[in-house]
Chains A and B, each alone.
Chain A
Amino acid sequence: MSFVPTPSIRVPDTPTILYCRCAYAQVVPTGVKNEVLGKLCESSTSFETVADLCEMAAHRDPRLQAIASCAKLRIAACYPRAVRGLFQQAGSPLPENAEILNMRTQTAGEVTEALLQSQI
């Protein structure tokens, strides 16, 4: 049986959601990142998660290229300037229209609302 890992229902033009766990050095408040992940899990939507974008950028993880190639992206991580810099430095700049939510400064509610906008 052939398989391509796509969600069971493809919704055209819907953004890819990416959640960064910041697992290697916890600069994102634990309460916020747990709540954001919890809310994503409560929803029925598909989403991607990575342990730590910094660690991936440090090692030029090829997965960053895959992430940056998504036409529409919503990322829950930290400061947008830092996240863009990490992707650029790893040789996979993010598209201009990528939305970056900052779990260091925004509330979990604000972040999840923006992530799940028009798809709950």
Chain B
Amino acid sequence: MITHTHRPLRVVLYEGTGCIALPTEARAKVMMTLLDKGYAVTRSGRGASAMPHDDCSLLVLGAFEGKAPALEDATGQITIDTRDITGLEPDAIISLVEKSRGDKPMNEPGKWKPWFPVIDYTRCTNCMQCLSFCLFDVYGVSEDNKIQVQNNDNCKTNCPACSRVCPEVAIMFPKYQGGPINGDEVNENEAKREKIKVDISSLLGGDIYSTLKDRSTAFKSRFSKERSADKALDERKKCLTKLVGDGFIPADVLASLPSTDEILKKAEAAKAKAAAALAAQ
């Protein structure tokens, strides 16, 4: 489920014709503070092209020397508020913005970490291993049978485990510290090493040690092999426990795993979804 952004305002710091520019330090302080509070801010000076506006309201701040013009959007789609900031210190400018927003909700830094997988489709081969692996329904399949991140809010903060099961190193977590999971370029030698790791932790098929010995057999058997539900469950837990032990995923992810019955149900459903999408390719 994708929840939508609450971004009630786009703040425009207008320093074009008819306005006095703020001192550089004050400008930087105002912009930094607003950004750290979660606002999007446009500095309108000269040079570079402006961004087209979206459906947000605009709050235009300018040192209009007491004569903030009343403005309306030529397209009639958005509301524009202007505020005169002549002589105001940065803190007073921030208060003015907060006051203008009033009690309209806004997403704010510090309350949530944007943690979710991002697929690099230039590498992804649509093998569906990530879908089969994730117990929290983060992945799904698009109408044209392509793997998709569909429920990114379900992803467990700081858990990049699915990036380890991707044989193509195609899963990124931009807020992760290390590469290539953070989006750094993939070193193809490391990618091969990753693939071996993947097979060790292969969750759905057979004996993980024989999987290590024969990767290609394991690959072929991944979705076809008869396997007992208990064994699959056991392996999934073993893999997660190992990843927790390595410090790769936070311990609370293990603690928040669904019940055994649910895991089995989810694993079956994911396997069916993955197999159907693969068959339809």
Q: In this complex, which of B45, B69, B177 has the most chain A Cβ atoms within 10 angstroms of its Cβ?
A: B45
Known contacts A2-B73, A3-B74, A8-B17; is A50 also within 8 Å of B40 by CB? yes
Q: Which of A64-83 contact B (CB under 8 A)?
A: 65-67, 69-72, 78-83
Q: B183–A82 contact, CB under 8 A?
A: yes
Is there a chain A Cβ closer than 8 Å to B257's Cβ? no
Interface size class of B (residues with CB under 8 A): 35 or more
Residue of A4, A18, A81, A104 near B120 (CB, 8 A) is A81
Q: Are A51 and B35 in contact (CB under 8 A)?
A: yes
Given contacts A79-B183, A82-B183, contact A48 B5 (CB under 8 A): no
A48, A52, A89: the one contacting B51 at CB < 8 Å is A48
Contact code string B108-130 (vs A, CB < 8 Å = 1, else 0) = 01101111101111000000000
How many A residues touch the partner, as a band? 35 or more
Secondary structure type dominating chain B contacts: loop
Q: Is A31 an interface residue (CB 8 A)?
A: no
Q: Which of B108-156 contact A (CB under 8 A)?
A: 109-110, 112-116, 118-121, 149, 152-153
Say yes or no: A81 contacts B46, CB within 8 Å.
no
Residues in A with CB closer than 8 Å to B188 are none
Tell me the complex Cα distance, A70–B112, Å.
29
Given contacts A1-B70, A3-B60, A72-B49, list 16 more A-B pairs with CB under 8 A. A1-B69, A2-B73, A3-B71, A7-B50, A8-B45, A23-B35, A24-B114, A40-B43, A44-B46, A51-B37, A55-B5, A56-B5, A79-B172, A79-B185, A81-B120, A104-B182
- Chain B contact residues, CB within 8 Å of chain A: 2-5, 7, 10, 12, 16-17, 21, 24, 27-28, 31-32, 35-56, 58, 60, 69-74, 80, 107, 109-110, 112-116, 118-121, 149, 152-153, 172, 174-177, 179, 182-185
